[in-house]
Amino acid sequence: MITAKCEVHTVRITDVSLEQKTADHLKMLILEVVKEVEVKWKATIVAITSDASGESWAAIKQLVDEFPWFVAPDCFAHQVNLVVGDYYKVPSTSLFLQYMKKATDLITWLRSKTMVLSMLRDIQKALNAANPSQMQQVLSIIHAVLTCWTAHYLAFRCLLDLRTTLDILAKQERDHSSDATSRCKAQEMLELIEDPLIMLTHIGPLALAINFAQAAHCCLDEVLIILGYLVSRYQDLLNMMTSTNDQIGLHAIINSLEKCWSKSDQTVFIAAVILNPLYKAKPFAQICQFTTAGITSLLLKLWQRFQSTPAPESLHQEIINYLQD
Query: What average pLDDT does range 119-129 have in this prediction?
Result: 90
Burial tier of 80 (Cβ tally within 10 Å: 0-12, 13-18, 19+): buried
DSSP labels, 153-217: HHHHHHHHHTHHHHHHHHHH-TT--SSHHHHHHHHHHHHHHHS-----TTTHHHHHHHHHHTSTT
pLDDT tens for residues 200-234? 778 889 988 998 888 878 889 999 999 999 999 99
- The dihedrals phi and psi of 296, each to the nearest 5 degrees, come to -60, -45
pLDDT tens for residues 30-62? 999 999 989 998 888 888 888 777 888 899 999
Query: What average pLDDT does range 283-308 have in this prediction?
Result: 92
Query: What average pLDDT does range 283-309 have in this prediction?
Result: 91
Choose among 47, 58, 49: nearest CA to 79.
Answer: 49
Least confident of 157-166, 221-230, 303-312: 157-166
pLDDT tens for residues 232-274? 999 999 998 888 878 888 999 999 999 999 988 899 999 999 9
Say whether pTM exceeds 0.85.
no
| pLDDT recorded at residue 269 | 95
**CA torsion sign, 14 to 19 to 25 to 26?**
positive
pLDDT tens for residues 89-108? 887 767 777 777 888 888 88
Query: What average pLDDT does range 303-309 have in this prediction?
Result: 89
- Per the prediction, the chain carries an average pLDDT of 85
Domain ranges of the chain: 2-72, 76-218+226-259, 265-325
| pLDDT recorded at residue 197 | 52
C-beta of residue 48 within 8 angstroms of C-beta of residue 60: yes
DSSP labels, 57-74: HHHHHHHHHHSTT-B--B
